[in-house]
Amino acid sequence: MTPSLTTTSDAIASGFHALSDPLRIQTLELLRNQELCVCDLCDALNVTQSKLSFHLKTLKAAGLVRSRQEGRWIYYSLNLPQFVVLEQYLSEFRRFSPILPARSCQEDS
With b for 16 or more beta-carbon neighbours within 10 A and e for fewer, the 12-26 pattern comes to bebbeebbeeeebee
Please tell me the distance from the alpha carbon of residue 11 to that of residue 17, in angstroms, as a whole number. 10
Report pLDDT for 90: 87
Please tell me the distance from the alpha carbon of residue 106 to that of residue 17, in angstroms, as a whole number. 37
Where do the structural domains in the chain lie, given as residue ranges?
5-83
**Would the pLDDT of 81 be above 60?**
yes
Which of the following CATH numbers is that of domain 5-83: 3.40.50.1220, 1.10.10.10, 3.40.50.620, 3.30.470.10?
A: 1.10.10.10
What value does the mean pLDDT take over residues 12-29?
95
Global confidence as pTM: 0.79
Tell me: the pLDDT tens digits for 27-65?
A: 999 999 999 999 999 999 999 999 999 999 999 999 999
Alpha-carbon torsion (20, 26, 29, 35), positive or negative? negative
